[in-house]
Structure 1
């Protein structure tokens, strides 16, 4: 089945169009130009600001001129992740999509439904000739996934709307009214190394088969972090076997729970079999621990014999490095005492790289409470400073404080109940939305977030529910008709 024939075609056809364009965070020039051309092709006002956010304005339809202007907002960039076995170049190729029952998926890569479906829905409104709506300001931001720099750069006065509908929620029964803020924590340093001719065998240990996922929305699901699994294995190996750590590469983007990681160890050739056996035994134990959440977890080894001198970590430095990575908190740190089942504070140990003694560890710390976010970031800094690391905080962005009794919140909930015969889940989310930053530039703007159901965002298992997109479209159109 063609994506273009799915209903509502007003969303799916536009989604297919933008998914043909590479749009990685911080590399959005092509999609920015596409959106500007799209707006101008409709004879609408289309402009960009200095950083690259795009704003398209459309007048109200007949009979809706007296309603207040509504800002429709989504982000243009997507997370580029692929399976290790997938041959795909995000820089030159569009996403390969296919229909799988009630879901749309991509072949071995992220789908871009986050936030491409939100962008496509807004495009559907802008290009429509028969959908009633108030005056629209369509705001397409950039770089949401790796720093929210587009939202951070918004200047007062560009928008005139009084209400904002963010289309980045990933459950069709939820109305999001708040979210966590975040800060990037980066530890870098250099460890003591030594040259050795004793260790002539390299053993590569790989962790693969994990689900991965969104480091905010999926952080409480008990999923394995490939980096943490790998460090657990390395701790046992350096204590029980005569090995030296040579290199590590695990994870990827800060906002994605790591699915794959690998480390290369040097050992004597006579000890290689024992190393393989120990990894196999550890793999069985860890697989049992994650049997319910990570049934496809694989811990594997490969071996290479070399005839050259190696530069490996000293015994003390490898113990310090592995200990620090193991001590770095990953996962839920504190649940909200106010909202049931809501994660308040968490951290994702997103990427670990070690090469020639130099290392980098990337984390993303999230919290709805600024002081709690600062505390967890401080704990991470303390952990890595114990081994002499330089630790930097960057990309700090605020949370979005809920207003559960607000006019727009109540209206949105009432319309959902009238359409679908049940109450929506009005909630705050642990994922980062741009509403907090937009609210800093426009403090009087009233906001809610809605969207269709998306699973596995930020991983190659990302998929969008076809029936949910239709449900979301119905809800979205009715909400536009009934804004104040």
Structure 2
């Protein structure tokens, strides 16, 4: 099936994307893709090396007549988000992505596609390969672990890069030029509890929430999509009134993905079965009605199962459910300076209850550093009231817009000349590596752009074929117009 992808135009880009997607590359497990990129660069006879953390750097001299131009650093990340539908049997550690064409879109079979940021990587590979494309001196920077900590960007030391201009190819709307992004911080709440034996007369039920769209916890956070953890918690809150006791709870996955599924095993007294089920079904109907526009495929089911032998102690269970109910999820504040930009948000990404341990993982984002920390402290306060230990990790800065940027002016002009309309110059609510890279390279002039990708960080991820053609044409034109030294 992937063979047909290589026949799409521009073939050099799609062939590289297909070859890249054959290499397993989940975040924090990039060893094989690093080796793949090292072999690629060396096969072209280009200067190729890794830095101390595993980022791959490849340099290519300018084409004839463009030796006097400033060196351009082209940057994309090697790792991809690994999400799949529950019914799909797939191992991201060992399998390549299976793709297919759906009209103007390329999709994956039940998994994330890896177009974020694999298409940026593929375009850079094509530029390094081609001998008939005019370009300034090029420096390709392929970072690792962007999706789960940005440790590649954080680990890139001062003095490694030589470029004066950076083109980040990790934006997901082809009519946008990005000049700023949000920072983020991971908020983790943990505590233990005593497991209690099942009580006489207990019966068991399994609750499943699935069928949600999911999506990028930054770019899609304002769309009103359902969060499986919040939906499940709302159902469990109803169960508190009927002496429900949780045995196991598993919801969500990666912090940067809006959770699509949640599952819970719980016990209840047989004598309370009828009123509990009536209240449960009423609440499930209300939730589905509220989300019917954005989440038409939402499924909420409850089915009998064997009663669990051990369950949560009631006091801890009550405090946990109430803390998750009170914890903010979604947009917290909109930007006062940039129209329609989410300033601050939080994603309750993962909830785990099992064998006496509770772990709740959130990702808080903001384009204002102080607001990011304030939101993190608000979450910390909520969970500490329920006797959780709360920790912060993985904090990364935002990228402050520079509206006087030379490369911004160039890209705006090139876009307008090519497509006869002005691009949207934006800041986004996602995390881009530009803010981190700018700490060690403060004088580097940066913009970000890319092809149209929908449903990133979910199995519905797809990339527009016509948009890739537009993106490639734009990228080539920008390189021809880069400034002289």
Task: Give the TM-score taking structure 1 as reference length.
Answer: 0.98
- C-alpha separation in 2, matches of 1:93 and 1:258: 23
2:48–2:58 CA contact under 8 A, matched in 1: yes
1:311 Cα deviation (Å)? 2.3
| 1:15 corresponding residue in structure 2 | 17
1:148 to 142, 147, 150: 150
- C-alpha separation in 2, matches of 1:199 and 1:75: 55
- C-alpha separation in 1, matches of 2:155 and 2:313: 45
Is 2:168 the counterpart of 1:166? yes
1:190 Cα deviation (Å)? 1.3
5+ residue gaps in structure 1? Answer: none
2:4 to 2, 5, 23: 2
Provide, for residues 42-79 of structure 1, a one-character-per-residue CA deviation record: whole Å limited to 9, x for no partner: 00011001211000000000000000000000000000
Provide, for residues 245-282 of structure 1, a one-character-per-residue CA deviation record: whole Å limited to 9, x for no partner: 22210000000000001111111234334433432222
- C-alpha separation in 2, matches of 1:198 and 1:337: 57
- C-alpha separation in 2, matches of 1:371 and 1:27: 33
Provide, for residues 414-472 of structure 1, a one-character-per-residue CA deviation record: whole Å limited to 9, x for no partner: 11000000010001000000000100010100000000000000000000000000000
1:256–1:459 CA contact under 8 A, matched in 2: yes
- C-alpha separation in 2, matches of 1:314 and 1:142: 42
- C-alpha separation in 2, matches of 1:74 and 1:125: 13
2:212–2:260 CA contact under 8 A, matched in 1: yes
| 1:64 corresponding residue in structure 2 | 66
- C-alpha separation in 2, matches of 1:26 and 1:317: 34
| 1:263 corresponding residue in structure 2 | 264
1:199–1:266 CA contact under 8 A, matched in 2: no
- C-alpha separation in 1, matches of 2:150 and 2:201: 46
What aligned pairs does 1:49-60 form with structure 2 within 5 A after superposition?
A: 49-60=51-62
Aligned residues: CA RMSD? 1.1
| 2:459 corresponding residue in structure 1 | 460
Is 2:301 the counterpart of 1:300? yes
Provide closer, same or farther for how the CA distance between residues 216 and 199 of structure 1 changes in structure 2, counting only shifts above 3 A.
farther
| 1:180 corresponding residue in structure 2 | 182
| 2:277 corresponding residue in structure 1 | 276
- C-alpha separation in 2, matches of 1:315 and 1:47: 56
- C-alpha separation in 2, matches of 1:380 and 1:154: 31
- C-alpha separation in 1, matches of 2:43 and 2:54: 19
- C-alpha separation in 1, matches of 2:261 and 2:274: 24
2:238–2:280 CA contact under 8 A, matched in 1: no
- C-alpha separation in 2, matches of 1:339 and 1:350: 27
1:200–1:269 CA contact under 8 A, matched in 2: yes
Is 2:319 the counterpart of 1:285? no
Provide, for residues 139-181 of structure 1, a one-character-per-residue CA deviation record: whole Å limited to 9, x for no partner: 0000000000000001111111100000000000000000000
Task: Give the TM-score taking structure 2 as reference length.
Answer: 0.97
5+ residue gaps in structure 2? Answer: none
| 1:237 corresponding residue in structure 2 | 239
- C-alpha separation in 1, matches of 2:26 and 2:337: 36
- C-alpha separation in 1, matches of 2:198 and 2:353: 18
Provide, for residues 204-234 of structure 1, a one-character-per-residue CA deviation record: whole Å limited to 9, x for no partner: 1111000000000000000010000000111
The structure 1 segments of at least 4 consecutive aligned residues displaced by more than 6 Å after TM superposition are: none
The secondary structure found in structure 1 opposite 2:422 is coil
1:284 Cα deviation (Å)? 1.0
- C-alpha separation in 1, matches of 2:187 and 2:14: 37
Provide, for residues 327-369 of structure 1, a one-character-per-residue CA deviation record: whole Å limited to 9, x for no partner: 1111011100000000011010000001123100000010111
1:91 Cα deviation (Å)? 1.1
2:212–2:226 CA contact under 8 A, matched in 1: yes
| 1:399 corresponding residue in structure 2 | 398
What aligned pairs does 1:25-424 form with structure 2 within 5 A after superposition?
A: 25-239=27-241, 241-306=242-307, 310-424=309-423
Of 345-354 and 314-323, deviating more is 314-323
2:56–2:141 CA contact under 8 A, matched in 1: yes
- C-alpha separation in 2, matches of 1:233 and 1:73: 44
The secondary structure found in structure 1 opposite 2:245 is strand
- C-alpha separation in 1, matches of 2:200 and 2:462: 49
Query: How many pairs are equivalent?
Result: 481
2:111–2:460 CA contact under 8 A, matched in 1: yes
1:185–1:394 CA contact under 8 A, matched in 2: yes
1:381 Cα deviation (Å)? 0.4
- C-alpha separation in 2, matches of 1:59 and 1:263: 57
The secondary structure found in structure 2 opposite 1:109 is coil
- C-alpha separation in 1, matches of 2:22 and 2:380: 41
